[in-house]
Structure 1
Amino acid sequence: MRDERLADGWDVNAGAWIQWTRRGLDSYSSHKVAFLPLIPPPGRLTVDVGAGEGRVSRELRARGHRVLAIDRSPTMTRSAATHPDVPVPAVVADAVSLPLPDAVADCAVAFMCLHDMDDVVPAIREVGRILVDGGRFVIAIAHPLSSAGRFDQDTTDENPPFVIRDSYTAPRHFTTVRTREDLSMTYHGIHRPLQTYTDALTAAGFVIEQLREHSAEDPTNKWSRIPSFLHLVCRSGAGTAVHVDV
């Protein structure tokens, strides 16, 4: 049994994450170009689940959405609510127990957080509870292929092979430390096969409308060969034929 929950690891590193994101040291600036257009037009309420320091919430608010940011980390939530330029309404809550009544939102977003949650199945079910019938749940996760393996670091090949040394199908926790400029950031996550997410979505009454794999556009970048991110657009309310746009 592990010593700490994933959420605890993220809360410990919240201060570093806030600096990391606000200095643009991750891939968000390019990633959002593919993700944000998948989000439907503003409705009565959009809930940003696992909102972190609020960057997606700020983007949505600029596009006219009435947004509520929710995150388990008090530090992250406070940072979202007190942003110097675009503060957003934000509350501290666990994704498995959202502080909202049934069928109150017409859109929910989970950007790069489901693979950082210990209890992803009940979290997805809880999102289904707060959405109206026909509401959209728009998701970005680390692509399960990318989290299953890594490019071989024991070769001098300029085009190294991507190697999965452990099981793709078995969930496993990982910790990744990245250093850029004068900052160090520790990522805590869990690799899960794609079926874990699709089964949880189906069980929660979602229909998958779009599934897109996002890779680096630069053909000289090795990550153009392996998708880094997976985007899903899901509709609440089963009973309609599934259409998958790959």
Structure 2
Amino acid sequence: MRPEQQQGEMILADGWDANADAWIEWTRRGLDSYNTHKLAFLPLIPPPGRLTIDVGAGEGRVSRELQARGHRVLAIDRSLTMSRSAATHPEVPVPAVVANAVNLPLPDATADCAVAFMSLHDIDNVEMAIAEIGRVLAVGGKLVMAIVHPLNSAGAFDQARYVIRDSYTEARNYTTTRTREGLSMTYHGIHRPLQVYTEALADAGLVIERLREHASDDPDDKWSRIPLFMHIVASRTA
């Protein structure tokens, strides 16, 4: 067991690390969900300050967007492959560090903004990760996060009906494999009820300012009836 590892803590991270090369190609081909809701997510991020951290940055897609908007960005990901990919991007490299989200390598009150785009539902100990984000944010700093909407991860469509076969209120791990353009990508995540996130934010001293649900814009798409993603802005008040 690694020194920073609690029992069972790294299962999801190991799954993502094992798929890192596929994820980098998947993302850079535009096969992931980023383009479907980044136009709703990016405007929630405040103007540049001293430091913006991208927690669970992966290969750096959001970090590059932020850097282009004038942010001084530090991309943080546990995967060496992912972090190296962000730091060596052929067109827009970004500063990146290999680190665990539950032990961020920053002093207290260092960052003005923390971004966690589609990463917190892939972290086993989300309470500790959010507490760490709260620790490194300065007073007035903001966490802008996107997660798989808990209704999305709770169930699935059975033809026209949306069915939750297991408990919405109980956390459970899941894997989802998608294949597009001859490439397969396996996602590793945890379904959690919304309350897990809101309680973790409250315990970290972060106050929710905005909570938005993102569904498909296509009225003929079944996912226009059930939200796919959730965007939250929370600020550190003290």
What band does the TM-score fall into relative to the shorter chain? over 0.9
- Cα deviation for residue 121 of structure 1 reads 0.3
Is residue 87 of structure 2 the alignment partner of residue 81 of structure 1?
Answer: yes
- SS of residue in 2 equivalent to 1:162: strand
Aligned counterpart in structure 1 of residue 33 of structure 2, from 17, 27, 31: 27
Are 2:101 and 2:132, in contact at CA under 8 Å, matched by a contact in 1?
yes
- SS of residue in 2 equivalent to 1:47: strand
Is residue 113 of structure 2 the alignment partner of residue 97 of structure 1?
Answer: no
Is residue 12 of structure 2 the alignment partner of residue 12 of structure 1?
Answer: no
Unaligned stretches of 5+ residues in structure 2: 1-6
CA separation of 1:90/1:4 partners in 2, compared to 1, >3 Å: closer, same or farther? closer
What are the Cα deviations for residues 84-123 of structure 1, in whole angstroms up to 9, with x where unaligned? 0000000000000000001010000000000000110000
CA distance in 2, matches of 1:178, 1:206: 34
Unaligned stretches of 5+ residues in structure 1: 239-246
- Cα deviation for residue 3 of structure 1 reads 10
CA distance in 1, matches of 2:170, 2:50: 39
TM-score, normalization by structure 1: 0.92
Q: CA RMSD of the aligned region, Å? A: 1.2
CA separation of 1:53/1:139 partners in 2, compared to 1, >3 Å: closer, same or farther? same
Which residue of 2 is the match for residue 244 of structure 1?
none
Aligned length: 232
Residue identity matched to 2:129: A
What are the Cα deviations for residues 3-29 of structure 1, in whole angstroms up to 9, with x where unaligned? 961000000000000000000012211
CA separation of 1:27/1:3 partners in 2, compared to 1, >3 Å: closer, same or farther? closer
Superposed structure 1 runs of 4+ greater than 6 Å apart = 1-4
Aligned counterpart in structure 2 of residue 36 of structure 1, from 22, 42, 50: 42
Residue identity matched to 2:232: L
- SS of residue in 1 equivalent to 2:216: coil
Are 2:208 and 2:232, in contact at CA under 8 Å, matched by a contact in 1?
yes
Aligned counterpart in structure 1 of residue 121 of structure 2, from 111, 115, 119: 115
TM-score, normalization by structure 2: 0.95
Which residue of 2 is the match for residue 143 of structure 1?
149
Is residue 131 of structure 2 the alignment partner of residue 125 of structure 1?
Answer: yes
CA distance in 2, matches of 1:88, 1:4: 25
- Cα deviation for residue 30 of structure 1 reads 2.2
